[in-house]
Chain A
Amino acid sequence: MEFKTHISVRNLSVFYGTQQALKNITVDIPDKKITVIIGPSGCGKTTLLKSFNRLIDSQDGMKVTGQVFVDGENIFDPQVEVTHIRKKMGLLSQRPYPLPMSIYDNVAYGLRIHGTKAKKELDRRVEHYLKEASLWDEVNDRLHTPASRLSVGQQQRLCLARGLAVEPEIILGDEPTSALDPKSSRRIEQRFLELKEEYTTVIVTHILRQAKRLADYVIFLYLGELIEHGLAREVFENPQKELTKEYIRGTIS
């Protein structure tokens, strides 16, 4: 199967102090597909994900070599202005962290910091993205109450709406369902499947069954190294490397 590349990673190594978290990774992330990064904990999954929007920048003692191209632009080029890279991507973290403000303001936050001021426009878009994240029906009567009062599952969907509101091209999910109950997890997964027509999606997970449900494309990392990557069905049904086989069988974790 041929696909268009959205993010291409070339010889990427990331160091935290003397410790090397990623070792010379080269891989292409397909456009408008769900790519799932799997691997045991501490293998560099989150580092790889957070290098895409350069959130790893704020770690002390972080050093990067190699390149990551998004839409053909090397995002680690010192000339690059980081906020416009981040605006291209919505992030869902392991636990939802609503900002300390109302439900409405959480979604409007990204719009406001990028210059949308008109009340009508904000109203329209907040409603639109809350619907996109399938949260509107549950909160439309209390938009101006603090977001922290929502349940964890609702908060995670709010974070999705907040991320979508800045009109990204890419959705990044760092184990986005790990704090959620099974029902809320399924709702988030469902949204990912529906949204993949419009967005390139990259998800980190350590839940193999979730990876199988969602993935079009799989990247398997082990101790900072890229072991295997390819179409989901091929990797899951016919892994080429011994380590991948063992991980999928569940003998290493």
Chain B
Amino acid sequence: MQRKRFLKDIIAGRLMLVLTVFSGLIVFLMALGLYFRSQPILAVKPLSDLLFSSGWHPLRGEFGFLPFITGTLWVTGVAVAIAIPFSLLTAIYLSEYAPRGLREWLKPLIDLLAGIPSVVYGVWGVLVIVPLIKDYIAPFYGTFSTGYSVLAGGIVLAIMVFPIIIHVSLEIFNAVPYEMREASWALGATQWQTIKHVVLRKALPGVIAASVLGLSRAFGETMAVLMVAGNVAKNPTSVLDPAYPLPALIANNYGEMLSIPLYDSALLLAALILLLVVLFFNIISRIILVRIEGSV
């Protein structure tokens, strides 16, 4: 009886250990898998050719990733350019100006945004943002656009990234001691002077980390962008041009075109690149955030 009890305990412990280690290893296993599967294309073409050439003609054996990389950068850039100022100002308002009641109401509402499935954002983008760009924004600038564009992708992504940046920034602002604000007010500083010179200054590394976290989310987001960005394999030259970001390329083609030689390997290389970039951004922002927690 006694022995059985201890045996169960040991088995349960070991089992959970294995599961924990496994979930920790998944990322490495995935990266490793992608690496090996992308070997065939790396064997015939140097990496720099793949990354910096624009020709995407799989049937002719040309796999230039450049249009997809620039597409990703354009869409992410627009998303971040919209999201950072908007979400920072929102976070500042909520943390420094809003009365407590309003803050307690709005915070969960904003966090809720993060829980909306990305396909819903995509549909919303198609129904609202795309026509808006086609019928109003492009004509306003005297050009034509189908609406499926870098701008549409950027706007949808920006809204998806809001809750992340706002949430993390709020935590960071909360970590700035209240007495530090008092010290500034006591010297006769206005609310805005206090925010600009004291709160933001103290919170700057954390705000950067929050932005990088948002950026990495935007970089890898697939569904919503795929639905509104247009998916044309050309380097965009303006925000009203269509773009074809890397995640959309993979999602659209993997499983469809695999009879073409090397296609499979090329897509998995793209996936590997995406994984590494997002991982890199995440690690950077985690390091900054951990450092801040250590110093407060």
Contacts and interface: CB of A to CB of B under 8 A. Distances in A.
A58 interface: yes
A3 to B, nearest CB: 26
**Number of chain A interface residues as a range:** 20 to 34
B100 interface: yes
Nearest to B199: A100
A93 B182 CA distance: 9
Interface stretch (B19-27, B183-191, B223-231): B183-191
A163 B179 contact: no
A95 B190 CA distance: 22
A233 interface: no
Given A100-B201, A109-B197, A113-B197, A86 B183 contact: no
6 contacts: A83-B188, A100-B180, A109-B187, A109-B197, A110-B187, A163-B186
A159 B184 CA distance: 11
Interface in A109-154: 109-110, 113-114
A53 interface: yes
Interface of A: 53, 55, 58, 60, 83-84, 86-87, 89-91, 93, 95, 97, 99-101, 109-110, 113-114, 159, 162-163, 166, 172
Contact of B183 (A58, A89, A99): A99
Nearest to B204: A100
B117 interface: no
Interface in B119-167: none
B202 interface: yes
A91 B186 contact: yes
B208 interface: no
Given A109-B197, A113-B193, A99 B180 contact: yes
Nearest to B295: A148
Contact of B179 (A84, A86, A93, A109): A93
B186 A55 contact: yes
Contacts of A60: 99-100
Nearest to A162: B187
A109 B184 contact: yes
Given A97-B180, A109-B197, A110-B189, 8 more contacts: A53-B186, A58-B181, A58-B182, A84-B188, A90-B187, A91-B183, A99-B197, A99-B201
Contacts of A114: 188
Contact of B187 (A58, A95, A101, A166): A166
A90 B188 CA distance: 9
B266 to A, nearest CB: 49
Among B182, B183, B197, B201, the one with the most A-chain Cβ atoms within 10 Å of its Cβ is B183
Interface residues of B, number: 20
B177 interface: yes
Contacts of A162: 183, 187
B198 interface: yes
A86 B183 CA distance: 10
B29 to A, nearest CB: 43
Nearest to A60: B100
A89 B190 CA distance: 15
Nearest to A111: B187
A100 B201 CA distance: 7
Interface in B166-184: 177, 179-184
Given A100-B198, A109-B197, A89 B186 contact: yes
A86 B186 contact: yes
A99 B186 contact: no
B187 A97 contact: no
A11 to B, nearest CB: 25
Those 6 A-B pairs whose CB atoms lie nearest each other, nearest first: A87-B188, A91-B186, A110-B187, A100-B202, A83-B188, A86-B188
Nearest to B103: A60
A87 B193 CA distance: 14
A136 B198 CA distance: 24
Contacts of B202: 100
A91 B180 contact: no
A83 B186 contact: no
A55 B197 contact: no
A86 B187 contact: yes
Contacts of A86: 185-188
A69 B99 CA distance: 28
A71 B198 CA distance: 30
Contact of A110 (B180, B182, B188): B188
B188 A166 contact: yes
Contacts of B188: 83-84, 86-87, 110, 113-114, 166
Contacts of B184: 99, 109
A97 B189 CA distance: 15
Contacts of B179: 93, 95, 97
A100 B185 CA distance: 15
A97 B178 CA distance: 10
Contacts of A163: 186-187
